[in-house]
Amino acid sequence: MQRTPPSAEEAIRRRFLIVDGHAYAYRAFYAIRHLNSPSGKATNAIYGFIKMLMKMRAQLLPTHLMVVWDGGLAQERMELLPSYKAQRPEMPSDLEQQLDEIMAYLGASGISSSCEEGVEADDFIATIAKRSVAAGVPVVIASADKDFMQLVSGEVSLLNPNDKSDVLWTAEQVREKSGVEPEQIVDWLSLVGDSVDNIPGVAGVGPKTARDLLKQFRSLEEIYRRLSEIKSDRLRANLEAAGELVLRNRELIRLRDDLRCDFELGQFVVKAARVDELRELYRRWGFKTLLMELEKEQAGQIELFAS
């Protein structure tokens, strides 16, 4: 799909792209198979990650960019639900060995990245997004994780790789996907549960029932304050029995946006790549096409400078 060249206004507009690192590394790993370096090491996740990041940068023209990695499960969530995310399989060894190489690429490309021990990427992304908006820079979060729908606002949008239209998700897309407003997503997921994170929902309450409840009552507090107004005896009984579960779910699902971190907007500005390092990485990985594109870009810049 051919993209219309950016307007002058788009070219100077500040925008912070925050990428869910592990999500895209997994996506790249499973999208491309049997790609190896000249030495025989797997490079499929590296190559796929680079290509996806290049596409996002070309589409969004971010002035600020950061890739955030999971540093482990949050202790407070584990205390609330010891089985939280317990069903997730171990990372494939062929993917794990490529993560350091992806980090090397980010460093050579002048792109900030972060992995805080014991901090889930979702919470760190929520915190950075909040700080960026407060500093006057709108945010695009690149991830397919539905938890991020709770962060959508006038200044925070989502780039969902599962949406092939490449449309930035605003409140409109959140409503189309869930049937509720972004500020109701936490309550919606608290009722439905989240099988991906091993969080059980209320018995008999699926996405449509949760949507209808929140359309009628607006919030969990109102649902439980006005339980007597629910006509279905079974639904009312299930909600009443799951009162503590729903409140616990809300604490599990709500993203923390108040983590302590050193935030200086300037550190996330997209910096000039260290071309010699990139050239060496591409050669080591056997990425001939990317190396050729890099050399062509450098030749063009030299010609432009000379003229």
Residue type (1 letter), 108: A
Question: Which domain range does residue 83 map to?
Answer: 13-171+256-306
Q: Is residue 5 part of a domain?
A: no
Q: Domain count of the chain?
A: 2
Same-domain pairing of 224 and 107: no
Same-domain pairing of 88 and 189: no
Neighbours of 132 (CB within 10 A): 23
Same-domain pairing of 31 and 48: yes
Q: Is residue 196 over pLDDT 70?
A: yes
> What percent of the chain is predicted at pLDDT more than 90?
86
Q: Is residue 1 part of a domain?
A: no
Same-domain pairing of 153 and 92: yes
Q: pLDDT value at position 300?
A: 64
The model's pLDDT over 244-272, given as tens digits with 9 standing for 90+, comes to: 999 999 999 999 999 988 889 999 999 99
The model's pLDDT over 89-129, given as tens digits with 9 standing for 90+, comes to: 999 999 999 999 999 999 999 999 999 889 999 999 999 99
Same-domain pairing of 228 and 149: no
Q: pLDDT value at position 7?
A: 46
pLDDT tier at 307 (50, 70, 90 boundaries)?
low
Q: Is residue 4 part of a domain?
A: no
> In terms of DSSP H, where are the helices of the chain?
8-12, 21-31, 44-60, 75-80, 93-108, 121-134, 171-178, 185-192, 207-217, 220-225, 233-241, 243-253, 275-285, 288-306
Q: Is residue 176 part of a domain?
A: no
Q: pLDDT value at position 299?
A: 73
pTM, two decimal places: 0.92
Same-domain pairing of 286 and 227: no
Both tokens assigned to 6: 């950016």
Longest dimension (CA), the chain: 79
Tell me the mean pLDDT in the region 290-304: 78
The CA-CA-CA angle for residues 253, 256, 258, to 5°, reads 165
Same-domain pairing of 281 and 244: no
Long-range contacts at 225-231 (CB < 8 A, ≥ 24 apart): none
Same-domain pairing of 99 and 142: yes
* CA distances, 263 to each of 27, 124, 134, 150 (Å): 29, 11, 11, 22
In this predicted model, which residue has the larger pLDDT, 212 or 307? 212
Mean per-residue pLDDT of the chain: 92
The strand ranges marked E within 162-271 are 168-169
Q: pLDDT value at position 297?
A: 85
